[in-house]
Amino acid sequence: MTFFTSEYESKLDAKGRLVLPSRVKAQLPEGDSEMVLRRGFERCLILYPMVEFKKVFSKISGLSEFNEEYRTLQRNFFSGTATVELDGNGRLLIPKNMLTYAQLEKDLILVGMGNKVEIWNPTLYEKHLISDPSELSKLAQKYLDV
């Protein structure tokens, strides 16, 4: 089972390739270099190991095609995905349209999100963080029953 946590600073090379941090690579299923990259709901990218993406794929593709909202979700979700593969050096090439979507340039922040990793432009990432610890506490109370 994959279990990604923490934040990692990373960089894109001149060809738009991302070298995954060793702690992220260590959580990938052994021998599986194929992954799925998708546009996030916010202006970031989401990287899934193939085994984890198949779970999401199953849920979304199982929605009824006769429901307009379901079709809209399916169309927008699946059109924003790309299969990527780690090369021998642990790099993956990010498609240009995805770099543009997430406003990724040289510096990146990778955020472990359990079964997936978010890839952010550092400036955009900062805007999505909670600055007041009491707000985080309220969210935890609301959604975690703590």
Give domain status of residue 2, yes or no. no
Q: Is residue 1 part of a domain?
A: no
Q: Is residue 104 part of a domain?
A: yes
Mean pLDDT across the chain: 94
Q: pLDDT tier at 29 (50, 70, 90 boundaries)? A: confident
Which amino acid would we find at residue 70? Y
- What global pTM score does this model have? 0.93
**Residue 64 is assigned to a structural domain of this protein:** yes
Q: Structural domain tally of the chain?
A: 1
Give the domain extent around 90: 7-144
* pLDDT, position 2: 76
Q: Is the pLDDT of residue 146 over 70?
A: no
pLDDT band of residue 145 (cuts 50, 70, 90) is confident
Please indicate, yes or no, if residue 27 is contained in any of the structural domains.
yes
Q: What share of the chain is helix, strand, coil (3-state, %, to 5)?
A: 35, 25, 35
User: Going along 25-126, which residue ranges are E strands?
Assistant: 34-39, 45-49, 81-85, 91-93, 107-112, 117-120
Residue 73, domain member (yes or no)? yes
Rounded Cα distance between 90 and 71, Å, is 35
| H/E element, 64 | none
pLDDT-above-70 percentage for the chain? 99
Residue 76, domain CATH: 3.40.1550.20
Helix axes 50-61, 68-79, angle to 10 degrees: 160
The pLDDT of residue 119: 98
> 123 and 43 in contact (C-beta within 8 Å)?
no
* Higher per-residue confidence, 90 vs 145: 90
Span 59-97, pLDDT tens digits: 999 999 999 999 999 999 999 999 999 998 889 999 999
Rounded to whole angstroms, the Cα distance separating 12 from 18 reads 5
